[in-house]
C-alpha cells in the first residue's frame, strides 16, 4: 500500500504566503521560503505553491521563488499559477520545481494537458480543479475562483485524466478555509472513478478531518494551508495520529 501524503499548500501573492476563507479575505501567513524549509523539517511529504494572482493579473509565476525554494528543501514541490504554455513549464522545471500545476489555462485550452504530458511525462503534470456546488451540480471555477464556468467538475476531471493528467488537485471552494472538513462525498466519487492520484483540498480544520478524508475517500493525499501555517496542526503530531488509525504514512527522519 502506498503511503498517504501530507501536503502543505502555500498560496503566494506578491511574494508572500496568504490565506483566506472561500478564496477571499486574504491575510498574510509568512515568507514562503521560510515556511517551505520549516515544513520540510517537520516531515511534509511534498509542498504545493500556487501563485494565486498570476492568471488573473496575466503574469508569469516567479521563477526566482522556485530557485530559492529548491535551494532550501529536499522534498518534491509543485508550482502553479500563470502556466499557459510549454515554455512556462520548462522554465519552472529548470529552476527546480518537481511538478507543475495547471488550472484555468487547461480549462481554456484542454490540449495543453496533452502537450505538457507529452513533453515532460504525466508524472510532471497536476491538473488543479477549483469546484463550487451550484444547485445539484459541481461546476469548475477559474482564475482563483473568480469566474464560474458551465463545465461539470466530474466530467472535466475524467477528461483531464484522459488527456494525460498525472494527478488531480481537487479543491472544494465551499469548504476552503472554513475548517469544517473536506468534501468527502464528492472526493470519494472522484477518487473511485479515476486511476490517477487525487489530492484532497479545502476544509481541513482538525486532525480528525485528515483521518476522515483518508478513511472515507481513500484519496492519495490531503492538502491544507492555514492549519499548518498558523501552527494549529503540527505535521509530526498529525502523522502519529494517522498511524494510530492504521493509515499508512511516511515516517519522519531528520
Map residue 39 onto helix, strand or coil: helix
Is 51 a residue of the active site?
no
The three cell numbers locating residue 173: 471552494
Rg (CA), the chain: 17
Catalytic residue among 130, 176, 183, 220: 130
Burial label for 3, CB within 10 Å (0-12, 13-18, 19+), is middle
- DSSP structural state of residue 163: H
Partners of residue 77 on adjacent β-strands: 47
Catalytic residue among 11, 45, 51, 88: 11
Is 212 a residue of the active site?
no
How far is the C-alpha of 246 from the C-alpha of 249, rounded, in Å? Answer: 9
Residues with catalytic annotation? 11, 130
Amino acid at each position: 500500500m502506498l503511503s498517504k501524503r501530507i501536503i502543505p499548500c502555500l498560496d503566494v501573492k506578491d511574494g508572500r504566503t496568504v490565506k483566506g476563507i472561500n478564496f477571499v479575505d486574504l491575510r498574510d501567513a509568512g515568507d514562503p521560503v521560510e515556511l517551505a524549509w520549516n515544513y520540510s523539517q517537520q516531515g511534509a511529504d511534498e509542498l504545493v505553491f500556487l501563485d494565486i494572482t498570476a492568471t488573473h493579473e496575466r503574469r508569469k509565476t516567479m521563477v526566482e521563488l522556485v530557485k530559492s525554494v529548491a535551494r532550501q528543501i529536499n522534498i518534491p514541490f509543485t508550482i502553479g499559477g500563470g502556466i499557459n504554455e510549454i515554455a512556462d513549464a520548462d522554465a519552472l522545471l529548470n529552476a527546480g520545481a518537481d511538478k507543475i500545476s495547471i488550472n484555468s489555462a487547461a480549462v481554456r485550452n484542454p490540449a495543453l494537458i496533452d502537450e505538457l504530458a507529452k513533453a515532460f511525462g504525466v508524472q510532471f503534470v497536476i491538473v488543479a480543479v477549483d469546484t463550487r456546488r451550484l444547485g445539484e451540480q459541481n461546476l469548475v471555477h477559474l482564475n482563483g475562483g473568480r469566474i464560474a464556468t458551465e463545465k461539470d467538475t466530474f466530467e472535466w476531471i475524467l477528461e483531464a485524466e484522459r488527456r494525460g493528467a498525472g494527478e488531480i488537485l481537487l479543491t472544494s471552494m465551499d469548504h476552503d478555509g472554513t475548517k469544517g472538513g473536506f468534501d468527502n462525498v464528492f472526493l470519494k466519487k472522484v477518487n473511485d472513478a479515476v486511476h490517477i492520484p487525487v489530492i484532497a483540498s479545502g476544509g481541513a480544520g482538525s486532525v480528525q478531518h485528515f483521518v476522515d478524508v483518508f478513511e472515507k475517500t481513500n484519496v492519495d493525499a490531503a492538502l491544507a494551508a492555514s492549519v499548518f501555517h498558523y501552527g494549529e496542526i503540527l505535521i509530526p503530531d498529525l502523522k502519529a495520529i494517522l498511524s494510530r488509525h492504521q493509515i499508512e504514512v511516511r515516517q519522519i527522519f531528520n
